[in-house]
A = this chain, B = another copy of it.
Amino acid sequence: MTITSFHPPRRTLMGPGPSDVSDRVLQAMARPTVGHLDPSFVGMMDETKQLLQYVFQTQNELTFAVSAPGSAGMECCFANLIERGDKVIVCQNGVFGGRMKENVERCGGIAVMVQDDWGTAVDPVKVEEALIAHADACLLAFVHAETSTGAQSDAKTLVGLAHKYDCLTIVDAVTSLAGTPLKVDEWGIDAIYSGSQKCLSASPGLSPVSFNQRAADKIQNRTSKVQSWFLDLNLVMGYWGGEGKRAYHHTAPVNCLYGLHESLVIVQEEGLENSWARHHKNHLALRDGLEQLGINFIVPEQDRLPQLNAVTIPEGVDDALVRTRLLNEHDLEIGAGLGSLAGKVWRIGLMGHASSQKNVDFCLNALKLVL
């Protein structure tokens, strides 16, 4: 056995994530590692918190990046906010609502499912019916931007309903953050998680999260310990928490955080609203081009996510072969279908750094050549 250094190909990443990481972010990750309690690093963490507050549009004190991918950010929200026997209303309109159910049940909670067709938005009418039927529920959980289908739900309305019936909310914003309007404070979201590798275009491995005071109070007033030591916010807060106070909890992924910091600086330079507008504009250009190729979206127009375009695979076309040819002949990655949509759809991402007119043109041209 002699294994040598790995040199990956340079792809154009237009799948459901990771998205293309810019050279600026890659170079930031290659800067010298410092200790996770080094004053210079602690200063960078403070800045990262401020930048995350900006992209989440929140003043929440408890805003930071979980030291693991989005799945762990999801688990962080559920494990901290659920105690045994808690009833949670979970909306499912794709793969990730199902993962929420798994999380609720593994935390000892009871999941009440509200089902909607894959490719449609969560229906607020059904949600209100469930909230009325389950007056003992304490949480509502839903996915803002379903990465498996490309459908966007009306987070503001759903959060309003939850609060009307005295429930806190957990919102999956893995694919929405920085790609489509998301306003944590204005909409009253109580707990939210995202990923570094979608519209922020940092490398995968970190999960930005934010909790408002109501959520933080619930966590601090738990009668049982959080079942995960690694994700216990009562402990993590000691590290990411108040000024000057940095208790050792775990070793932070230093270089990954350099990359996230740089990706957030880039969003700040562009301006969040400009980022949303860019994602929208490039989505429209891709849509027009796909329609000219006779390729149709699975999500009704008003619910489409600009950063994740799920389209029906044209009849008679070999799904895997096309994706393999795109990869081998054009170094272009687009996404396969997930769950019940496997083999039926492609997911074309225009996320973060990858959302550009250049990529739209490139993808459309490559598809034309391969189909």
Interface positions of A (Cβ within 8 A of B):
1-11, 13, 15, 17-18, 20-21, 24, 26-36, 38-41, 44, 47, 50-51, 54, 67-72, 74-75, 79, 99, 102-103, 105-107, 195, 197, 203-205, 225-230, 248-256, 258-259, 261-262, 264-265, 268, 327, 333, 338
Write 20 A-B pairs (CB below 8 A) sorted by A numbering. Answer: A5-B24, A5-B28, A6-B28, A6-B261, A8-B33, A8-B40, A10-B32, A18-B33, A18-B36, A26-B30, A29-B30, A68-B68, A70-B251, A71-B249, A75-B228, A75-B230, A105-B225, A195-B251, A204-B251, A205-B255
User: 3 tightest A-B contacts by CB?
Assistant: A205-B253, A30-B30, A68-B68
Q: Is the CB of A6 within 8 A of B248?
A: no
Contacts of A2 in B (CB 8 A): 268
Given A8-B258, A253-B256, A26-B18 contact (CB < 8 Å): no
What is the chain B residue whose CB lies nearest that of A102? B229
Q: Is the CB of A9 within 8 A of B106?
A: no
Given A3-B265, A69-B67, A204-B9 contact (CB < 8 Å): no
Question: Separation in Å of the A146 CB from the closest CB of chain B?
Answer: 15
Indicate the member of A203, A229, A230 with the most B CB atoms within 10 Å.
A230
What is the chain B residue whose CB lies nearest that of A197? B251
Q: Is the CB of B11 within 8 A of A32?
A: yes
Given A13-B34, A327-B38, A3-B51 contact (CB < 8 Å): yes
Question: Separation in Å of the A249 CB from the closest CB of chain B?
Answer: 8
* Assembled-state Cα–Cα distance A33/B20 (Å): 7
